Amino acid sequence: MTGESMPDPFSGHPDWALDPPRPVVPTPATMVGQLRGRRAIIGMPGLGWRSDMRTDEKVVQGSRTYVPVMPESEWYRAEAEQTEVFAPLVPVERVWIEELGVTGASAPASDLMSRLVSLDEPPRRIPVAALDAGALTGRRFIRLLEDGGEQRDLRAVTELHTNNEGEVCARVSRELDWYRWGWSGHAPKTLEVSVHLLWVE
């Protein structure tokens, strides 16, 4: 965009922004094929939900089907270090798999009545532009690519700031590196991304 005046990102969303990324749609594990490494939500209707989990393939014991589920940090560590980790068996009907929906869903509503959800299943996760998302550090991110694609499995490692060129941006890392930072102490490699390309997942 050399030679063009860029809109102030704090005066509203720039009209040159790319289309928003696809929302996350929880789908019952009973309706999904292969589960190994899938991002999952566990819980019970009417009780509540826990996200940031990963699954392994279904296990049948007697007449019941279970899904091995572990915290995402444990899954990444097991994959990176080729180690075994304990994965509790969760009844398949209490597991939902995060799948991607259709682009074009509206942003989350800000008024109370529009924010109310059913407790029958986990709610959809509608992406929120980084500019509107409040605190960023540690949250899951989507980076929009100039060709219309999406890069996921990222975590923010900073809040919004101004870089040396005066551009508003945040730094992100691959999710594996972000988790490895926690178990090894090794700081991750990071990428500086312009605010108009970043969305909280």
Q: What is the structure's pLDDT at 139?
A: 97
**pLDDT tens-digit series, residues 39-77:** 999 999 999 999 999 999 999 999 999 999 999 999 999
Mean pLDDT of 96-116: 77
Question: What pLDDT sits at residue 192?
Answer: 97
pLDDT digits (tens, 9 = 90+) for 149-170: 999 999 999 999 999 999 999 9
Percent of the chain clearing pLDDT 70 (strictly above): 88
- Assess whether pLDDT exceeds 90 at residue 107: no
Residue 17: its pLDDT value, please? 55
Question: Is residue 121 scored above 50 in pLDDT?
Answer: yes
**Residue-level pLDDT at 15:** 43
Q: Sign of the C-alpha dihedral, residues 51, 67, 120, 21?
A: positive
The radius of gyration computed from the CA coordinates of the chain, to the nearest angstrom, equals 19
Check residue 105 and give its pLDDT.
Answer: 52
Separation CA 39–CA 135 (nearest Å): 23
Q: pTM for this one?
A: 0.85
For tokens 């190994």, the residue is: 36
Distance separating alpha carbons of residues 32 and 96, to the nearest angstrom: 9
Q: What is the mean pLDDT of the chain?
A: 89
Query: In terms of pLDDT, which residue wins out, 105 or 112?
Result: 112
Assign 8 a pLDDT band (cuts: 50, 70, 90).
Answer: very low
Q: Which tokens go with 189? A: 């490699």
